[in-house]
Amino acid sequence: MKRRDFVGLSGLAAGALFLPSLPGFGHTRVDPARLLEPGADVAQKKRLADAALNAAKSAGANYADVRIGRYLNQYVFTREKQVQNIVSTESYGVGIRVLVAGCWGFASTSVVTTDSIAATAQLAVAIAKANRLVQKEPVQLAPQAGYGEVSWKTPIQQNAFEVPIKQKVDLLLEANARALDAGASYIGTSLFQVNEQKYFASTDGSYIDQDVHRIWPTFSVTAIDKASGKFRSREALSSPMGLGYEYLTPSTSEQVPGPTGTDLVGYKLRYDLLADAALAGKQAKQKLTTKSVTPGKYDLVLDPGHLGLTIHESVGHPLELDRVLGYEANYAGTSFATLDWKAKGLPYGSKQVNIVADKLQPGSVGAVGYDDEGVKTGRWDLIKEGKLVNYEKIRDQAHIVGQKASDGCCYADSWSSVQFQRMPNVSLQPGAAKLSVDDMIKGVDKGIYIAGAGSFSIDQQRFNFQFGGQMFYAIEKGKITGPLEDVAYQSNTQEFWGACHSVCDQSDYRLFGTFFDGKGQPAQISAVSHGSATTRFNGVNVINTARKIG
């Protein structure tokens, strides 16, 4: 319960995805100006990295890698007319991973000196040796040629840390004012900004310097009817992005109008915080008197800002090879999509379903040039015309599926965390034929259009799931006829993707994302995006979530 007050501040207690935790919690608090100061230069980092690699080899490691990480975060929290908190943090340290006779060891230190780094490398080797005595399956690492000295940077237009805090606070408070004017009782607004400055080196001969940027403006609006005691919320329709502050400069060319009969707007690579806050204020108030859904089977038309979360849970996770193999059995769970299941060639979905993994997708939060074990990233097919063709892998898993190289899916959320397999950006490809959302809705006789991500839950093997949303609209005889409330749909992964009827074209394609994908013990978070265009699924079971207490 101890983090509650902090998380509650952001208004994300219900909306924070995946883990009730924030990146950088416990990091060193710094003056905002510190976020613009340069860290150690590349030559210095190379010297420190070599100290780690040499110490590890001398202590008996067959392989070693070292990550020198400087993680900078800034969060701005406001509610109604006041600033709640402005937090700038820095976390700097070194994580060293070693392989000794097929057994991993890991240790980390925040004391960044050659002596401390050497001692940490020796501790990592000692841990590997202690565990080797009870190790059953020796690690087999896919070969990886060194890249020498290389670098990569998120292509951003404006570093968010360069923007004065006052400008950010003014924007958030203006968003609050617009929501309150439009009918909101309360609003909490947050702006998360992340910069990971990561240096990776390994005994393979790679020295990789990366500068990764992410941003996420978000809010939660609540409307209250005191007399009836009823309250309803509407969350922002923004997405975490691998962009700089330019994401907060509205641009009509990066907006997609929602279907006729809604006031909604979909956002691509630019977001209009003020417009969305005003709309959310109005919609939260409307929700207090909106009709409750009649449960039953409906054709669902799902907006990309909603469908991304369903893709995440029902495709992204089951295709993580560590889950498939049982490495997450005690925490995140396993997967129905086992190697045996794949071999049977059963359909994952309908022919409309083409899903790719892409670690370089522009604007995505998962975009990096190299992963956290020094593998160059890329793009590959996961599902082609409804058939599972591949998984998400790292170096010590590639051999299990007969692959010679890793897919580059390795990530650690801090220098102090051990890197392991994490989900790449996983996206549904848009339909090849021209199809707008309005045209898609014209073909639906009895359906529900859903926008925005809401409640989400799926079983540990990724069969049975239930999703809510932010905004729901009834579709009757090809037209949106009005809003609905208390909607959640329940389905099964293969049944759901098998019911995929059609996908809108590229012009509707947008990214959903999260900063808080949780996995591993101790738990780590990871940022990941999921793209899609609006998609129709036929005959899905919808339940009514309204209940009565006291």
Partner 1 sequence: MLSKDDAQTILKKVLSFSTADECEATLNGSTGGNVRSARNSISTAGAAENVSLSVQARFGKRSGLATCNEFDDASLRRCVQRAEEIARLAPESPEYVPLLGPQTYLASPGSFAARTAAITPDYRAEQIGASMALCEQKKLSSAGFFNDSAGFVAKRNSKGLEAYQQRSSVDFSITVRTADGTGSGYAIANYTDLAKFDAARLTRVAADKAASSVNAKAIEPGKYTVILEPAAAVDLLNNMMNAMDARNADEGRSFLSKKGGGNKKGEKVFDERVTIFSDPTNPDVPDLTFAGDGRPQQKVTWVEKGVVKNLYTSRFWAQKSGVPDIPPPGGWIMAGGTQSTADLIKSTAKGILVTRLYYIRAVDPQTLLYTGLTRDGTFYIENGQIKFPVKNFRFNESPVIMLNNLEALGKPVRLGGNLVPPLKIRDFTFTSLSDAV
> Considering CB under 8 A, how many residues would be counted as binding partner 1?
88
Nearest of 494, 410, 515 to residue 95 by alpha carbon: 410
**Phi, psi dihedrals of residue 430, rounded to the nearest 5°:** -65, 160
**Among the residue ranges 104-112, 350-358, 441-449, 499-507, the one whose residues contact partner 1 (CB under 8 A):** 104-112
Question: For the chain, what percentages of helix, strand and coil (3-state, to nearest 5) are there?
Answer: 25, 35, 40
Q: Looking at 103, 194, 480, 542, which residue binds partner 1 (CB under 8 A)?
A: 103
Determine, following the binding rule CB under 8 A, whether residue 30 of this chain makes contact with partner 1. yes
Tell me the per-residue interface mask from 289 to 328 with partner 1, x by CB under 8 A, - otherwise: ------------------------------------xxxx
Q: Which of 62, 350, 403, 466 binds partner 1 (CB under 8 A)?
A: 466
Residue closest to 165 by CA, chosen among 60, 71, 245:
245
Q: Which is nearer to partner 1, 266 or 305 (CB)?
A: 305
- E strands, 331-468, are 355-358, 379-384, 387-388, 410-411, 420-421, 426-428, 446-451, 456-458, 464-467
- When the beta carbons of 213 and 306 are compared against partner 1, the nearer one is 306
Give whichever of 220 and 361 is closer to partner 1, judged by the CB atom: 220
Instruction: Dig out the tokens for 457 from the structure.
Output: 């839950």
Q: Which of 77, 420, 472, 516 binds partner 1 (CB under 8 A)?
A: 420
- Reported in sequence order, the residue ranges of 56-160 that DSSP labels E, i.e. its strands, are 63-79, 82-100, 103-109, 148-153
d(CA 357, CA 514): 16
Confirm or reject binding of residue 113 to partner 1 (CB under 8 A). no
CA of residue 470 relative to chain centroid, distance: 18
284-287 contacts at long range (C-beta below 8 A, 24 or more positions apart): 284/179, 284/183, 284/184, 284/221, 284/222, 284/223, 284/232, 284/233, 284/234, 285/182, 285/183, 285/184, 285/223, 286/483, 287/223, 287/232, 287/234, 287/483, 287/485
Q: Is 106 in the site for partner 1 (CB under 8 A)?
A: yes
Binding piece for partner 1, criterion CB under 8 A, among 270-278, 382-390, 402-410, 463-471 = 463-471
- Give the contact letters, 180-219, x = binds to partner 1 (CB under 8 A), - = no: -----xx---------------------------------
| Burial of residue 26 (number of CB atoms within 10 Å: 0-12, 13-18, 19+) | exposed
Strand 426-428 and strand 464-467: pairing?
unpaired
Q: Which of 54, 62, 114, 135 binds partner 1 (CB under 8 A)?
A: 135
Binding status of residue 464 toward partner 1 by CB under 8 A? yes
The pair phi, psi for residue 486, each rounded to 5°, is 65, 35
If binding is defined by CB under 8 A, does position 341 make contact with partner 1? no
Degrees, nearest 5: CA angle 118-121-124: 155
460 near partner 1, rule: CB under 8 A: yes
* CB nearer to partner 1: pick between 303 and 486: 486
Do residues 241 and 214 lie in contact, with contact meaning Cβ atoms separated by under 8 Å?
yes
Q: Is 137 in the site for partner 1 (CB under 8 A)?
A: yes
Cα–Cα nearest to 66, from 520, 419, 423: 419
Choose the binding region for partner 1 from 20-28, 238-246, 247-255, 361-369 (rule: CB under 8 A).
20-28
Concatenating the DSSP letter of every residue in 406-429 gives --S-EE-SSTTS--EE----EEEP
- Is residue 116 involved in binding partner 1 (CB under 8 A)? no
Beta bridge partners of 251: none
Q: Is 60 in the site for partner 1 (CB under 8 A)?
A: no
Distances from the Cα of 111 to the Cαs of 117, 307, 415, in angstroms? 8, 43, 12
Among the listed ranges 82-90, 255-263, 273-281, 437-445, the one in contact with partner 1 (CB under 8 A) is: 82-90
525 binds partner 1 (CB under 8 A): no
Cβ contact 105:125 at 8 Å: yes
Q: Is 39 in the site for partner 1 (CB under 8 A)?
A: no
The only residue of 43, 228, 252, 344 in contact with partner 1, by rule CB under 8 A: 228
Q: Which of 125, 315, 458, 542 binds partner 1 (CB under 8 A)?
A: 458
Judged by CB under 8 A, the residue of 38, 43, 134, 164 near partner 1 is: 134
Specify the residue, 303 or 313, whose C-beta has the smaller distance to partner 1.
313
Residue 300 near residue 497 (C-beta atoms within 8 A): no
469-498 residues near partner 1, rule: CB under 8 A: 486, 488, 490, 492
Q: Tell which one of 116, 231, 254, 479 touches partner 1 (CB under 8 A).
A: 231
Distance in Å, CB of 520 to partner 1, minimum: 8
Only one of the segments 222-230, 256-264, 436-444, 507-515 lies at the binding site for partner 1 (rule: CB under 8 A); that segment is 222-230
**Chosen residue from 21, 73, 74, 108 binding partner 1 by CB under 8 A:** 108
